[in-house]
Every structure is written in structure tokens, then in C-alpha cells.
Homo-oligomer: A and B are copies of this chain.
Amino acid sequence: MATIARRGILFIVSGPSGAGKTTLSDAVLRVFEDLELSVSYTTRAPRGEEIDGVDYRFVDRERFDAMLAAGDLAEWAEVHAHRYGTPRQPLERAVAEGRDILLDIDVQGARKIKELFPDAVSVFLLPPDRATLAGRLRGRGTDDDATVSRRLQNACREIASAPDYDFLIVNVDRAAAAAEFEAIVRGERRRVARMRQDVLAAFVRRFETEP
């Protein structure tokens, strides 16, 4: 028995738009078969090749607001007149059952998740500098100049919250950033404070009592 049973871990990856959160999340999810992505609910329409239940759960406003009223959302926000929210019960279940969840989430959402789940591991992904960030935001080619400019301002404001996170990764090279995130996942899984203390105690006691 090389693994001592433990609580599940919520890994939050956050950072400004354009930092590379989604690319990083995809890379880390490919490495860890036993890391699940938290899928948000949203009232906006699917874009491009987005798949319901994979990228988001696309719901109408009525359904969204019913979840909100029932307390079923761990965090939610309205962005450009669309609502986005993270369902709460799957996170609670995962922690109790020892499964790990990855949340790719904006700065405001990350703050709320961390309030609700203080044991969550929060990782802030930083672009190396403002020029690189601006280049990445323009490079998407999906938004007009005014939108890019507004996003850049928002991003630079959001970066001010980096010191509130547990870990910080500067995304110069995507492979290096993914390797650092992987190390954080592997390391945190070995943390004694997350292990089930009854199981750990039993494991330790066996050394005293075995023949």
C-alpha cells in the first residue's frame, strides 16, 4: 500500500485572460488521468467547437438562476451580460471521496472558491510581461481592438492579486509552466495534512504490531 488514503484536492489555476490558463490546464489534464476538470455552467451560447458538458454546461437563464437560488453554485459571475458559475456539490463530493479536481477559473471566482474551500491549492499564472500579454490577447484574433484594450487593462488589474495565491508560475515557456504545475500537483498529493489521519495512524501502527 504505497498510497495512504487522503481527501481530494481542488487545484485552482487562475490568472488574467491571455496568461495561458486553458493551454496549461489541457496539458496538465493529459498528464494526470485521475485529475478531473470542473465544468462551469454558463448562459452564453456555445462558440466554435465548444461541446456541452465538456467545455461548459450551456443552460438558459432560468435554470442558472434556479441553481443560484438553491445555493448550488460555489461561485458565479456575470461577464459581458452572460452568467458563469461553478457547481458546488461536485467539488464537495470530490474532496470527500479523495478525487482531485482542476478549476480553470478567473480571479474573482478563484477568490470565492478559496474562501469556501480553504484547503484548495491556488496557482496564479502570470505572463512574463505586459508586452507579451498584449501580444497574446491580440493574437487570438477573435476580438476587436477596443475589446483587446479593455481586456489588457482588466488583466493588469487582476495581476495585482497574484500575491494572494499559494503558488505562482510565470508562463514564459508553456512546457516549463506545465512541468511546474505538474510538480505542484504531485507534491501536494504527498502532503501529510491531506491524508486521512485514521488511515495514516493505522499504517504507522502496523510497524509496531507486525511480527
Q: A129-B206, A129-B210, A130-B206 are in contact. Are A167 and B186 (CB under 8 A)?
A: no
Give the distance in Å from the alpha carbon of A11 to the alpha carbon of B203 in the complex: 24
* Cβ-defined contact, B162 with A200, below 8 A: yes
Secondary structure class of chain A's binding surface, majority of residues: helix
* Cβ-defined contact, A210 with B159, below 8 A: no
Q: A160-B204, A160-B208 are in contact. Are A167 and B191 (CB under 8 A)?
A: yes
Closest Cβ of chain B to A125, distance in Å, is: 11
Give the distance in Å from the alpha carbon of A201 to the alpha carbon of B159 in the complex: 10
Residues of A within 8 A of B (CB): 1-4, 123-124, 126, 128-131, 133, 155-157, 159-160, 162-170, 172-173, 176, 179-180, 182-188, 190-193, 195, 197, 200-201, 203-204, 206-208, 210
Q: A159-B204, A170-B4, A207-B159 are in contact. Are A180 and B190 (CB under 8 A)?
A: yes
Q: Which residues of B contact A173 (CB under 8 A)?
A: 2
